[in-house]
Amino acid sequence: MSLPQSVLFCCDHNAVRSPMAEGLMKKMHGHDIYVQSAGVKNDLEIDGFTISVCEEIGVELSRHRTRSFDEMREWGDDLEGFDLIVALSPASQRMAQELARHAHIEVEYWPIMDPTGLGEGREAKLASYRQTRDQIMDRLQGRFGGAV
């Protein structure tokens, strides 16, 4: 299976799912594939539980800065230049399809669980975030191969 040269992962806020996917993909494929992530909105910082569960498997996300599609454009990232957009939420899927309509970019939708708001107490919350992380990892390995 041929790998894309560039992948954009997107979700609602670029604070949980898409940064996880970006970090995991970079760990699995290094610099072989250009990887970025974005959100429909940028109204949250990177989620602390996201940082914790990724750190457990050697993926560093504490320096991740959240960004929206609009900010990526403002900062000079050519969204139309991506080979593949992977949407991890329904809202980001709509935004990606809108972009792709004009630029002929492949869009995939992966229905990944949003762990925010799930679980009572720290351990239960971490378990939810681990479940999301592992769901993303399974999809990445199935689609692109490689291991974390």
CATH at 54: 3.40.50.2300
With respect to residue 78, please indicate whether it lies within any of the assigned structural domains: yes
With respect to residue 134, please indicate whether it lies within any of the assigned structural domains: yes
Task: Return all residues near 81 (Cβ < 8 A) that are at least 6 apart.
Answer: 6
With respect to residue 81, please indicate whether it lies within any of the assigned structural domains: yes
With respect to residue 148, please indicate whether it lies within any of the assigned structural domains: no
Per-residue model confidence as pLDDT tens for the chain (148 residues)? 578 999 999 999 889 999 999 999 999 998 899 999 999 987 778 889 999 999 999 999 998 888 888 888 887 777 778 899 999 999 999 988 988 887 778 899 999 999 998 888 999 999 999 999 999 999 999 999 877 7
With respect to residue 1, please indicate whether it lies within any of the assigned structural domains: no
Domain containing 43: what range?
Answer: 6-143
**Domain count within the chain:** 1
Q: What does residue 107 show for φ and ψ, rounded to 5 degrees?
A: -120, 130
pTM listed for this prediction = 0.92
Number of residues in the chain:
148
- The tokens for 9 are 């992962």
Distance CA 97, CA 51 (A): 29
Residues 74 and 126 sit within 8 Å (Cβ to Cβ)? no
